[in-house]
Structure 1
Amino acid sequence: MWLLLLLLTLSIITYILIKRTVTSVTHTPAWLLWLVVMTPPIAWTVWYMVMDEEKSIPLVWIILPLFICFITYGWLISIGRILTKNQDSQNYSLFPNLEKKIKTLENPVFIRPITATEEQSLRNCFPWGVYYLQNLDYRPQAILCRGKLRIAPEKAYQSIKTNIERVFGDRFLILFQESLQGQPFFALVANPWAKSQQKEPEQPTTRPLFALGLLLLTLLTTTIIGTEIAGISVEQWQENLRLLLNGLPYSLGVIIILGIHELSHYLTAIRYKVITTLPYFIPIPFFLGTFGAFIQIKSPIPHRQALFDVGIAGPLGGFMVTVPILLWGLSLSKVVPLVEESNLLSLQAFDPRGSFLFAIFAKLVFGSSFIAEKAIHLHPLAIAGYVGLIITALNLMPVGQLDGGHIVHGMFGQRAAIIIGQFTRLFVLALGIIRQEFLLWAILLFFMPTSEQTALNDVTELDDRRDILGLFSLALLIMILLPLPGTLAQWLNL
């Protein structure tokens, strides 16, 4: 039964991810992409349902479906691609959210041909000492302005942007990108937010009553799950509703962690004047009681610094509240004998050694009472803290549209971020083969788009302080994921 629930959970998460990401860049139906993505886990579920669950699934049964479906998935996306790729490999990709905005307009937004006079005015917007313009390349959805950068990227972008806005007003969005050869270029894209393009009043991005309703529903579903975690059956709490109060430690812990995570994203986005929705929680009546929470960014990110800050704010904010919740929950937990089934999924006899950071926290709380051959019976509040660690780690994965993808994009640029994302996928897949609890992560990462929302100014690099903070976030990811080293375990008597 638990296998079917896990498969259903994965199915819903996968479909949501596909609808929110991939469908913006391809005409291929979402249901078809979802079917391809879900084929490997369906095959693995069938194996475990037909065969004995104690029997390990063959390696070929893991690798072969993944390989075939990964190739098929990429092929389906490519044949339904909306944007025409340039053969000279110049990367001037538009924002996924911008493409969605274009599709919602009555008429698609394409670049209106500019006159010879306007072209000369455009060329005059590029001073020789700032950016030496060499040629203009007209595309259906962009005008590419290629040349040589003469001054610091940030100063060049501000100068060119000011000049173009003075001549053309809000007619264009001005992108500053790097080609695959590392050459900075400008791209002018028709601005769907321009006053001349507005056909209808803008729909409100903040729906407080809707957000509040989802929050209350999520509070209910997580409380029900928390009650079951506390060892109270459905029949018991249905007879006495007061027993639902036993689910509040888990429920409130999870809600606070998710809420702080998304509020950190939201407030940072508002700081940079990026249009975004309020945080929306996703309630479900099983599994964790929630699929998490999210915000939707509705306007372009101005620069890589903003992309980095918005990306890292959520994991760091969530982690800062996860630590005290986890430590408090561990103080309410009990040390129990380590049994053969003890692992990262066994909450009655939890073995924290599978996570370096969790093992350190456990040792800090229990001290000499937590030694080798011991495990932990987690209190519901500690389980909420554990969920917080998992949420932090998953979001810090440096892949695509995850927060970690935004972080490495801000640190190293879009091209390097794509390469890092590919290596991360392979690493998590190898980890999933060794430790099956990471197999679900590997599936999600493999079918997540490698590219993600770019910034208007995607050339200017971060300062040293943010680079250090980004490296810390990656180190935090490693400390959560990797097990406690054997030498340190012996030193700590674990």
Structure 2
Amino acid sequence: MEEIQPPVVPPVYAEIDALRRDIADLFVVEDTTLDYPDKEHVRFRGRFRCDPAECYDELRRRFERHGYTPVVNREDEARSALIAMPVVFDHPGSRWIINLVLFLATIFSTLVVGAAYELGSYDLAWRQPWHGWPFAFSILLILGAHELGHYFAARYHGVPVTLPYFLPMPFSLFGTLGAFIRLQGPVNNRRALFDVGAAGPLAGLVFALPLLFYGLATSDLGPIFPGQSFEGNSLLYLLIKFAVFDRVLPGGGQDVYLNQVAWAGWVGLFVTGLNLIPVGQLDGGHVAYALFGPRSRGFFWPAIFGLVLITLFSYVRGLLVITWLLWIFLLLVFGRIHARPLEDVSTLDPRRRVLAVFTLALFFLVFVPFPLAGLAR
């Protein structure tokens, strides 16, 4: 009598079946589709037995045991789609020596710019850069707080992240092109995305505002001469100047002549305003997506249209337009791509929702539409 052999189950099917059993207490699988939406991916459709935001970390650990990372999307009002991606994100190390070299170079470049601002000469500034220490210290404190806010929020949520990269630029008004960190893996959910996105600008403002108040209080008022350039106003900057000087500035033919600390505080507000534009990979884009989800893509064209209007108005008034032309180009290229979380079903809790609205409102308070008023083309 011929022996009947049991059917051979391909290893991938056995692994998927084991994965389905492993998550049964967290997710009720109603149907399974292999090679969807891409080859070697698996889609489970069904219902969560728990709050996705609360149990996603455990769900991800179980998926990773089988060599997958879970992506959660809303299928309809009753069901969710759980996509198993055949990849596990590791935590690569950061080459800290590069970060250190860039940071030291940025210290020097901001010293030179601060010294030139103080001495009125780049020739003297290169020979006596220590005169720029108030600006260098202040601007690096603001930028460092901003980037470390992102860094520690990412580490708190278990997102692999690099140390901050500072970008030196001695031949500029700021001495630096800013700083950035690079996320080396996706965030888990919208709550983590909000925390990582908002932590930077909020931490930066914690230091920028006191430095700005102190800098303005120790700066002098002076006359505005024809053709002279001066820093532009945001609503918050206008209010802070009013609080310090008890008058609207510029006004009556006068404005404040910023010292190094005040200039660094103004730069901190300006950079925060740029980062809070609610599109793409900017901090404001992260906050907007965390709050509104895919609907946040609706901010893209209004933001572009607004910058075009500012550029046209600046051109008519003979003001500097290169800044906004560059930002329009960058947003057109990169502004439609959002950092989408792995679990995209749960929403922000009430506390984060209020803080997200506040963070987006800050954009309208700190954004400077005309950064260098009075500077001709």
Q: TM-score range by the shorter chain?
A: 0.7 to 0.9
Aligned to 1:41: none
The unaligned stretches of length 5 or more in structure 2 are 1-9, 315-320, 371-377
Aligned to 2:257: 377
Aligned to 1:204: 93
Q: What code does the residue aligned with 1:175 have?
A: V
Indicate yes or no: 2:243 matched with 1:364: yes
**CA–CA separation in structure 1 for the residues paired with 2:122 and 2:368:** 36
Q: Could you give the per-residue CA deviations for residues 78-115 of structure 1, whole angstroms, max 9, x where no partner exists?
A: xxxxxxxxxxxxxxxxxxxxxxxxxxxxxxxxxxx854
Residues 108, 129 of structure 2: 8 Å contact kept: no
**CA–CA separation in structure 2 for the residues paired with 1:180 and 1:311:** 28
Aligned to 1:399: 279
Q: Could you give the per-residue CA deviations for residues 410-450 of structure 1, whole angstroms, max 9, x where no partner exists?
A: 1122x122222343233232233223464433332222241
Aligned to 2:375: none
SS in structure 2 at match of 1:474? helix
**CA–CA separation in structure 1 for the residues paired with 2:48 and 2:312:** 47
Indicate yes or no: 2:81 matched with 1:185: yes
Among 317, 332, 335, which residue is 2:221 paired with?
Answer: 335
Aligned to 2:5: none
**CA–CA separation in structure 1 for the residues paired with 2:50 and 2:349:** 17
**CA–CA separation in structure 2 for the residues paired with 1:134 and 1:227:** 67
**CA–CA separation in structure 2 for the residues paired with 1:309 and 1:451:** 19
Question: Residue 483 and residue 294 in structure 1: after superposition, are their counterparts in 2 closer, same or farther (change >3 A)?
Answer: closer
Q: Could you give the per-residue CA deviations for residues 321-375 of structure 1, whole angstroms, max 9, x where no partner exists?
A: 0001111111222222345546xxx23xx4x5x3211111111111249573232
**Higher mean C-alpha displacement, 130-139 vs 220-229:** 130-139
Residues 266, 295 of structure 1: 8 Å contact kept: yes
SS in structure 1 at match of 2:130? helix
CA RMSD of aligned residues (A): 3.0
TM superposition score normalised by structure 1: 0.64
Matched ranges for 1:263-342 at <5 A: 263-287=148-172, 288-339=174-225, 341=227
**CA–CA separation in structure 2 for the residues paired with 1:266 and 1:310:** 8
Question: Residue 180 and residue 333 in structure 1: after superposition, are their counterparts in 2 closer, same or farther (change >3 A)?
Answer: farther
**Alignment coverage as a number of residue pairs:** 350
Question: Residue 432 and residue 149 in structure 1: after superposition, are their counterparts in 2 closer, same or farther (change >3 A)?
Answer: farther
Q: Could you give the per-residue CA deviations for residues 365-423 of structure 1, whole angstroms, max 9, x where no partner exists?
A: 1124957323222212211111101111111111111111111111122x122222343
Q: What code does the residue aligned with 1:387 have?
A: V
**CA–CA separation in structure 2 for the residues paired with 1:129 and 1:226:** 57
Indicate yes or no: 2:65 matched with 1:169: yes
**CA–CA separation in structure 2 for the residues paired with 1:136 and 1:128:** 20
Question: Residue 181 and residue 416 in structure 1: after superposition, are their counterparts in 2 closer, same or farther (change >3 A)?
Answer: farther
Residues 176, 458 of structure 1: 8 Å contact kept: yes
Question: Residue 224 and residue 159 in structure 1: after superposition, are their counterparts in 2 closer, same or farther (change >3 A)?
Answer: closer
How high is the sequence identity, in percent, across the aligned residues? 31
Q: Whose relative contact order is higher, 1 or 2, with alpha carbons under 8 Å and at least 6 apart? A: 2
Question: How far 1:178 sits from its partner (Å)?
Answer: 3.6
Q: Could you give the per-residue CA deviations for residues 21-42 of structure 1, whole angstroms, max 9, x where no partner exists?
A: xxxxxxxxxxxxxxxxxxxxxx
SS in structure 1 at match of 2:72? strand
Residues 134, 148 of structure 1: 8 Å contact kept: no
Indicate yes or no: 2:41 matched with 1:142: yes
Residues 276, 363 of structure 2: 8 Å contact kept: yes
**Higher mean C-alpha displacement, 467-476 vs 136-145:** 136-145
The unaligned stretches of length 5 or more in structure 1 are 1-112, 195-201, 485-494
Name the structure where helix makes up a greater proportion of residues.
1
TM superposition score normalised by structure 2: 0.82
